[in-house]
Amino acid sequence: MAYFKDADEVYSYIGKLFEDLAQDEELAPKFQKANTVVQYQYSDPESTITVKLLEGEEGEVDLGETSLEPEVVMTMDADTAHRFWLGKVNVTVALARGQMKAKGPVAKILKLVPLVKPVFPRYRQMLQDAGREDLLEAA
Amino acid sequence: MEAAPAVLGGAQLTGFKDFFQYLAPTRVVAGRELLGSTGFEFQKEGAARVFLVTDEVVRSTGLVERVEAGVADGGLVVAGVFDGVPQDSSTDVVEVCAAAATEAGADSFLAVGGGSVMDTAKVAAAVFSHGGSALELEGIYLMPREREGVGRPLAMAPLACIPTTAGTGSEVSMAAVIKDPTRKVKLEIVDFPLFPRLAILDPESTRTLPPSVAAATGMDAMTHAIESYVSVDSSPLQDARALHALRLIRDNLERAVENGPEDEEARGQMLVAASLAITISLGSVHAMSHPAGAHFGVPHGVANAIHLPHVIRFNAEGGHDIANRYRDIAELLGAVPAGADPEVGELLASHVTELVDRLGLPTRLSHAGVPEDGIPALVEGAMGDGATLLNPREPAEGDYERLFRAAL
């Protein structure tokens, strides 16, 4: 059974994490160095998060429909995304196995991977604060 | 409690790995006087009307004519020849090439050339087979598949490669890199169908290769072997290939450069070494060399030769597991006595630098035209390169800056 029951749950946790990061004074400028627009297309449940990471511009996170035009599209199931933000997914293995698929100039996204490590405890804390230990235990 | 996060791969260099994947489906035919039987071999892969892809330099040597004769001798038809591949190919070139193949009524592709020619032929074959544009194929494992993208990859037109350099290994790899001139980025396509069906390794095809290019491309092969052996994405099956590639390089690279094309033995063994060494699991040497080529035009093999010793020193200080992997290499190359326990990174790095010097290649970036004020752009490029994620020791921006300064 999938960890998230519907798209709204994906947006409430993973989407909220992206929104928080876009406002983070320390991390947001580092992520914006990617200078791209990334769309995360999740399955099971179907959900879409689009993130604008453009240098010198305000960050933007769209949950669901968007008018942003993505340059990079990352496709995976929502469970894999959840496990990624808990620090339990090796990106290179996930790409090799096809659990994550990356379309577009992938290097722009890969350069962000080393930056995300400090975010893992934040995601874990967010779930704990929301009383969603079930999501922590399931993964 | 689960193990520590392994998002960056984690250098699992010993024991049974949590995961690895290995595939080598290209049929390799190697030997002397094989060009005349190109058609005989390629017909076994389903080719009938062959579209030959090459560049003007290779064509001017007469090699293409001999290959064409070999195609015809096997009863196949040369449907057309495209010799418009530049040194640094692009999406435009690929699409012109694919359209020309369609126009010629071809059913298969034959690349005769170096990395740029082979990568152009790979992507052109994909566009020819599936339609659309090169840009639509960009990414990792994103070529068309059965079962709405999750099943078996759809077959491509048969592709054969005859490499004219011994280094890139593209003739047996599933990757292709070409420029996207609109976005001014390198477009990378990685997927199983890009493995050529056939590679023909005949030292005659490297006869016109100048010694300096033989040296640089040979160092590219050596870098593939060394980086793959210490990569977080290494596999026991690729390890075996890498170590044998290094034996062949140890015994043949200098001969192939010094003696030139007359030393068919060394030139042939270097072709085999390059095909053994190639993998998509590399590391920081490649992460540093890609921007050096993109920003300052440093030839890829030269950039690898310059960066390799510095990355060895950096990585070898990253832990015993990494140092022990370098020890295997150092012992094989004769850089350290067997069983010795000195600073293996330093000794191996010095060994490589001395080899590069003997080969007549530059050992410093400044000698290859890189200015000091270019370092920030190089650092940014290296940090954003996917190969960084596969390096056994995680480099920070400051590390890359120190490495580039040391290499300058």
Partner-chain contact A102 B139, CB within 8 Å: yes
CATH no. for residue A88? 3.30.1050.10
* B232 CB within 8 Å of a chain A CB: yes
Distance CA B205, CA B54 (A): 12
Task: Find the DSSP H helices in B334-396.
Answer: 344-358, 375-383
Residue B7 has pLDDT above 60, yes or no: no
Total number of domains constituting chain A: 1
Is residue A139 a part of any domain in this protein? no
Q: State residue A25's pLDDT score.
A: 86
Residue of B nearest to A118 (CA): B5
Distance CA B36, CA B123 (A): 26
- B227 and B322 co-located in one domain: yes
Q: Which of A102-111, B1-10, B162-171, B355-364 has the lowest mean pLDDT?
A: B1-10
Q: Kindly provide the ipTM of the predicted complex, given to two decimals.
A: 0.71
Q: State residue B366's pLDDT score.
A: 97
- Mean pLDDT, to the nearest integer, of B57-72? 97
**Angle at which helices B264-277 and B211-230 pack, to 10 degrees?**
30
Query: Mean pLDDT score of chain B, rounded to an integer?
Result: 92
DSSP letter for A67, please: S
Q: Kindly report the pTM of this predicted structure.
A: 0.88
- B154 and B217 co-located in one domain: no
Partner-chain contact A106 B2, CB within 8 Å: no
CB B349 within 8 A of CB B305: no
CB B174 within 8 A of CB B81: no
Is residue B301 a part of any domain in this protein? yes
Residue of A nearest to B17 (CA): A93
The shortest CB-CB distance from A103 to any of B7, B8, B142 is to B142
Q: State residue B211's pLDDT score.
A: 95
> Which of B140, B190, B397 would you mutate first to test chain A, the one with the most A CBs within 10 A?
B140
Is residue B293 a part of any domain in this protein? yes
Query: Tens of pLDDT along B110-128?
Result: 999 999 999 999 999 999 9
CB contacts, 8 Å: A93 with chain B: 9, 18-19
CATH no. for residue B163? 3.40.50.1970
- B118 and B58 co-located in one domain: yes
- B195 and B223 co-located in one domain: no
Query: Tens of pLDDT along B66-112?
Result: 999 999 999 999 999 999 999 889 999 999 999 999 999 999 999 99
Q: Copy the structure tokens of residue B254.
A: 């200098």
Partner-chain contact B188 A113, CB within 8 Å: no
CB B35 within 8 A of CB B205: yes
- B173 and B215 co-located in one domain: no
Partner-chain contact B139 A104, CB within 8 Å: yes
CB B110 within 8 A of CB B42: yes
- B383 and B354 co-located in one domain: yes
B18-28 CB burial, b ≥16 within 10 A, e <16: eebeeebebbb
CB contacts, 8 Å: B5 with chain A: 87-88, 117, 120
Total number of domains constituting chain B: 2
* B21 CB within 8 Å of a chain A CB: yes
Give residue A59's domain range: 7-134
Distance CA B62, CA B50 (A): 18
Is residue B295 a part of any domain in this protein? yes
Is residue B125 a part of any domain in this protein? yes
Q: State residue B8's pLDDT score.
A: 45
The shortest CB-CB distance from B7 to any of A34, A105, A113 is to A113
Query: Tens of pLDDT along B345-396?
Result: 999 999 999 999 999 999 999 999 999 999 999 998 898 888 888 899 989 9
Q: State residue B233's pLDDT score.
A: 87
CB contacts, 8 Å: A117 with chain B: 5, 7-8
* Residue B344 CB coordination number (10 Å): 23
* B233 CB within 8 Å of a chain A CB: yes
Contacts with B, A 18-37, CB within 8 Å: 33-34
CB B82 within 8 A of CB B52: yes
The fraction of chain B above a pLDDT of 70, given in percent, is 95
Is residue B26 a part of any domain in this protein? no
Is residue A111 a part of any domain in this protein? yes
- B195 and B269 co-located in one domain: no
